[in-house]
Structure 1
Amino acid sequence: MIDFMIISFIIGFLRKGNLKGLSEIPLRRLEIIFASFIIRYMPLFLKGSLKEFASNHIIAISIISYTLLLCGLFSNWHIKPLRPVAIGVFLNFLVIVANGGKMPVSLWAVDAAGLQDYKADLFNPDYLYHTALTPSTRLAILGDIIPLPRPYPNPRVFSIGDLLMAAGVFILIQEAMLKKMSSSGKIKGR
């Protein structure tokens, strides 16, 4: 998502937008959204037995973090560009929960994106957030199946949910940088 946010800002500036509108987005329940990210990504910084505990309980960590994130996003349903973000997060949540707390990743897409060095990690049970997509994967169509290869500077593999999230964030940033948002979340002209 960071890549798409940076691209959104660059395009916003090229379109003569400014950052002031971002501070005027009428976001609610930001504390829930931040808490979800802390819970989701804290295990990446754990060591030893704490990391092992997180690995053994990744399904619970995923459910708690995604539930908080969805609550935060649905409390912002009044902001139209956040609707595809919420739907994308929900789709990712479904496939992650259906597969034991990890996002399944297509090996074909990994190869197509030129990320062969990461394939071994997808078969490592201690790899926290991703796993290889196999014939037994549930809801495989919602997994990371879309490759983004070079010449993109940061090749990756992403999901339909990620695509919806990126589109929503892009639209939100563009509308905020180019126009004002009312307290109801509707966009007004300058």
Structure 2
Amino acid sequence: MEHEGKNNMNGMEMEKGKRELGSRKGVELTMRVLALILTMAAATVLGVAKQTKVVSIKLIPTLPPLDITTTAKASYLSAFVYNISVNAIACGYTAISIAILMISRGRRSKKLLMVVLLGDLVMVALLFSGTGAASAIGLMGLHGNKHVMWKKVCGVFGKFCHRAAPSLPLTLLAAVVFMFLVVLDAIKLP
């Protein structure tokens, strides 16, 4: 009789454990989908930011200004290209990790968990470095640099700056989501 009570209790504990595992897996899947959306949006927003404008340049004070058509694109700045690339890599990795999560259905080995954990850590590092690089150049464009006599670019290409700026918080938010995924992955390791 006492033995049956223990079996019944073990069955209830197993059921509770399955529910916790399922909810944790649901949280992980939700966070990975969020990371996928954020990285895709950040890469797209920065990648399509472009503005063409006619800029007057005065070469010699006695001559009239020379009008030149110039274009501002993210591909002209290596830090922005790096940020776009990092977001694209993170987006691709996230799609693969979602597929692994769906295929494994909770039967992931310790090796697979470790690979996913390391992948998530790499994404955290890449996304934070991409955010830092793009932010530094963005601030330079916004404020200029008096010491080296670089003028404010956003004063001329304001539309470009306003279109490119949202990619930075999106990338930062994606990095934070990956940090939480690292914590979730670490909790799963025995």
Q: Smaller-chain TM-score range?
A: 0.3 to 0.5
Select the structure that is richer in helix: 2
Q: Point out the structure with max Rg over C-alpha.
A: 2
Under a length normalisation based on structure 2, what TM-score does the superposition of the two structures give? 0.36
